[in-house]
C-alpha cells in the first residue's frame, strides 16, 4: 500500500493537479461562505466543468470543492451568526460569541485548523480502511450486493427524513427514473417514447443540478420575494471590540482530545450511508459538551464548540468515500456527486475500482492529503477575503447561481433538452423540499438504481429465480435482517 501511495503522490504532485485542487478549494470556500449555498451546490454546479479535465484532476478538483465548501460554511457562522451551511450551524453557537468579544480571526482560525485536522484524520482512516472493506466487498455476488443496496436504501430512508415513508418513496422514485433509457441486458428502449436523447437515460448532471442545487436556490429566491432583506446581527458595521487574534499551534494542539473525538465521530458517521454531515457536527458538539469540565461555557464562546463541530463535519468528507469506493454506495449526497463524477469519467465505483483503477484511486488519496495542506494555506491566507464574501447579499448571488446552473448543464452535451430536464427537476426538487420528501434520497436512488437493477437481474439469472437461495447466503440474510430492523426502528421513532 505504501508503494502505491508513493506512486499516487508522484502522479498527484503535478502543477496542474495542484492548481485544480487550489481552484476547487477556493471555489468551494467561496460558495460555502455564502449563506444558503454549500458544498453540495458547489459540487453540483461544478461537475460539468470537470468534463474537460483528466479523471484525476477532475476528482481532485471536486474533492477540493467538497473540502472547501464544508469548511467555508463556518465563516458566516462565526462572523454573522448565519451559518453558510447546515453543518456549520453548531459553529455559530460558540464562534459568534467569540466574534462579539473581539476574537473573530481567532475563532476562524480554530474553525480552519479543526477542519483541516479532522479532514486529515478522516483521510488517513479512509486510506487504511478502504482496502479491507473492498476485500470484503469482493466476496459479494449479485445477491449480496442487492441485499447491501436494499440495506443502504432503508438506512437512507430511515435516517435522512422524519418520515421513512417519504424517504422510501423518493428512493424508489429515483430507481424508477434510473430505468429510463436502454435496458442494461437486452438494450430494449424503455420509456424513451422515441426520444433518442433518452437512450442513455436522463442526464445525471441535469438531475443532480436541478434537484439539488437549482431547487434549493429556487426555494430561497421564492422565499425572498416581497420580504425585506435582513442583515444578520453583527453584519457590516456592527461594533466589535478588538481582541486576541493569534492562535499558537500549542494552544490548538492542547484541545487534542476534542479534535480526535470529533474526527472519529465524523468518520464513523461518514462511513454509514445517509447519516449526513449535519448530524456528525451536532453529535460531536453534544459529545464535547458532555465531556467538558465546564459544559455551561458552551454557547458562550468556548473554542471546543467550534473544534468539535468543524473537525467532525470535515471528517465526514474523507470517510464517506469508504463505502463509495469499496462498495459503490455513497455515504451522503456529496459522495453521491463524487460517484457520479467517477462514472462520468469512466470509473465504475465499487470493489473493482481498486484493482482496475488503483493508480487513480491512490493518486486521489494523495491528492486528498495534499489538499489538506493546501486547504490550510488557502484558508489561512483568505480569511479577510472570505469575511468580505460572506457579506454579499443573497439577492445578488442567487440569480447568478441560476445562470451558472444553466451553463453547467448545457456544457457537457450542449443540449437544450438537458436544460429542460434540469428545470423540470428543479420544480420537482422544490415541491419535494416543501413537502418534506428528501431530494437526496431521490438522487441517490437515481444513481444507484442502475446498479440495483443489474444486481437484481443477475441474481435472478444466476439462481434461476429461486428465492430460497437467500437462505444460503449469510451476508444477504444479515443485510436483509438489518434492513427490516432499520425500517421497524424508523417506524417506531416516527410514531413517537
Partner 1 sequence: MLLKGRNDIIAGLFLAVIALGALFWVIPFGIETSTGSGGMSPKFVPQVAAVVVLVLSLLLVVNGLLQTATATDKPETGNTFVYAVIWSVFCLVCWFGLSTLGFIVTSIAVIAVWGFWTGAREMLVLAALSVGVPIVISLGTRFVFSIYLP
Closer of 193 and 471 to partner 1 (Cβ): 193
* 40-69: contacts with partner 1 (CB under 8 A): 52
Q: Which of 301, 322, 304 is nearest to 312 (CA)?
A: 304
- The rounded distance, in Å, linking the Cα atoms of 403 and 190 is 32
Query: Which residues are CB-neighbours of 138 under 8 A, at least 6 positions away?
Result: 351, 352
- The rounded distance, in Å, linking the Cα atoms of 158 and 141 is 26
Q: Please tell me whether residue 176 binds partner 1 under the rule CB under 8 A.
A: yes
Of 197, 391, 457, 489, the residue at the interface with partner 1 (CB under 8 A) is 457
- The rounded distance, in Å, linking the Cα atoms of 493 and 164 is 10
| Number of residues near partner 1 (by CB under 8 A) | 66
Contact map string, positions 96 to 125, toward partner 1, x by CB under 8 A: ------------------------------
Cell numbers at residue 297, please? 461555557
Could you tell me which stretch among 102-110, 142-150, 403-411, 474-482 binds partner 1 (CB under 8 A)?
403-411
Q: Please tell me whether residue 456 binds partner 1 under the rule CB under 8 A.
A: yes
Considering only CA atoms, give the Rg of the chain.
22
Could you tell me which stretch among 34-42, 340-348, 360-368, 395-403 binds partner 1 (CB under 8 A)?
395-403
91 within 8 A of 305, measured Cβ to Cβ:
yes
Q: Please tell me whether residue 434 binds partner 1 under the rule CB under 8 A.
A: yes
Q: Please tell me whether residue 468 binds partner 1 under the rule CB under 8 A.
A: no
28 within 8 A of 59, measured Cβ to Cβ:
no
Instruction: State the residue for C-alpha cell 447568478.
Output: 400
Q: Return the axis-axis angle of helices 256-271 and 104-137, rounded to nearest 10°.
A: 40
Nearest-approach distance from CB 63 to partner 1, in angstroms: 22
Closer of 22 and 45 to partner 1 (Cβ): 45
Q: Please tell me whether residue 416 binds partner 1 under the rule CB under 8 A.
A: yes
CA distances from 312 to 55, 71, 127, 251 (A): 28, 11, 18, 19
Task: Provide the binding-site residues for partner 1, judged by CB under 8 A.
Answer: 52, 163, 165-166, 168-169, 172-173, 175-176, 179, 183, 185-186, 188-193, 218-219, 221-222, 224-225, 227-229, 393-396, 398-400, 402-404, 406-407, 410-411, 414, 416, 419-420, 423-424, 426-427, 430-431, 434-437, 449, 452-453, 456-457, 460-461, 464-465
Amino acid at each position: 500500500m505504501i508503494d502505491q501511495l508513493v506512486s499516487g503522490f508522484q502522479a498527484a504532485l503535478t502543477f496542474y493537479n495542484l492548481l485544480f485542487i487550489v481552484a476547487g478549494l477556493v471555489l468551494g470556500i467561496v460558495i460555502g461562505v455564502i449563506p444558503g449555498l454549500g458544498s453540495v451546490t458547489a459540487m453540483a454546479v461544478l461537475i460539468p466543468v470537470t468534463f474537460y479535465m483528466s479523471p484525476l484532476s477532475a476528482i481532485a478538483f471536486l474533492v477540493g470543492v467538497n473540502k472547501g465548501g464544508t469548511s467555508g460554511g463556518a465563516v458566516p457562522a462565526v462572523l454573522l451568526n448565519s451559518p453558510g451551511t447546515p453543518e456549520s450551524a453548531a459553529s455559530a453557537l460558540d464562534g459568534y460569541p467569540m466574534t462579539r468579544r473581539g476574537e473573530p480571526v481567532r475563532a476562524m482560525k480554530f474553525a480552519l485548523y479543526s477542519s483541516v485536522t479532522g479532514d486529515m484524520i478522516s483521510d488517513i482512516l479512509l486510506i487504511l480502511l478502504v482496502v479491507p472493506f473492498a476485500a470484503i466487498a469482493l466476496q459479494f455476488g449479485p445477491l449480496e450486493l442487492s441485499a447491501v443496496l436494499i440495506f443502504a436504501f432503508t438506512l437512507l430512508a430511515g435516517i435522512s427524513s422524519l418520515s421513512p415513508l417519504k424517504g422510501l418513496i423518493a428512493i424508489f422514485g429515483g430507481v424508477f427514473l434510473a430505468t429510463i433509457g436502454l435496458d442494461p441486458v437486452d438494450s430494449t428502449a424503455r420509456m424513451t417514447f422515441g426520444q433518442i436523447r433518452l437512450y442513455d437515460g436522463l442526464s445525471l448532471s441535469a438531475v443532480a443540478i436541478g434537484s439539488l442545487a437549482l431547487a434549493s436556490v429556487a426555494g430561497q429566491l421564492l422565499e425572498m420575494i416581497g420580504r425585506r432583506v435582513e442583515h444578520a446581527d453583527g453584519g457590516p458595521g456592527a461594533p466589535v471590540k478588538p481582541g486576541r487574534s493569534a492562535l499558537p499551534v500549542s494552544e490548538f494542539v492542547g484541545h487534542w482530545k476534542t479534535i480526535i473525538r470529533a474526527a472519529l465521530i465524523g468518520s464513523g458517521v461518514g462511513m454509514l450511508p445517509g447519516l449526513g454531515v449535519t448530524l456528525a457536527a451536532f453529535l460531536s458538539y453534544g459529545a464535547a459538551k458532555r465531556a467538558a469540565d465546564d459544559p455551561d461555557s458552551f454557547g458562550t464562546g468556548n473554542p471546543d464548540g467550534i473544534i468539535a463541530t468543524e473537525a467532525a463535519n470535515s471528517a465526514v468528507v474523507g470517510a464517506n468515500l469508504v463505502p463509495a469506493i469499496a462498495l459503490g454506495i455513497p455515504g451522503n449526497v456529496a459522495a453521491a456527486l463524487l460517484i457520479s463524477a467517477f462514472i462520468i469519467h469512466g470509473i465504475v465505483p465499487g470493489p473493482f475500482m481498486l484493482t482496475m483503477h488503483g493508480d487513480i484511486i491512490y493518486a486521489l488519496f494523495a491528492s486528498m492529503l495534499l489538499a489538506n495542506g493546501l486547504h490550510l494555506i488557502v484558508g489561512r491566507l483568505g480569511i479577510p477575503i472570505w469575511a468580505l464574501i460572506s457579506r454579499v447579499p443573497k439577492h445578488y448571488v442567487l440569480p447568478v447561481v441560476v445562470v451558472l446552473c444553466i451553463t453547467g448543464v448545457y456544457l457537457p452535451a450542449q443540449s437544450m433538452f438537458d436544460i429542460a430536464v434540469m428545470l423540470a427537476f428543479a420544480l420537482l426538487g422544490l415541491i419535494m423540499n416543501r413537502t418534506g420528501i428528501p431530494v437526496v434520497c431521490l438522487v441517490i436512488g437515481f444513481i444507484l438504481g442502475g446498479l440495483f437493477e443489474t444486481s437484481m437481474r443477475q441474481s435472478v439469472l444466476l439462481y434461476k429465480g429461486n428465492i430460497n437461495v437467500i437462505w444460503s447466503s449469510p451476508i444477504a440474510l444479515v443485510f436483509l435482517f438489518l434492513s427490516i430492523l432499520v425500517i421497524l426502528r424508523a417506524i417506531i421513532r416516527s410514531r413517537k
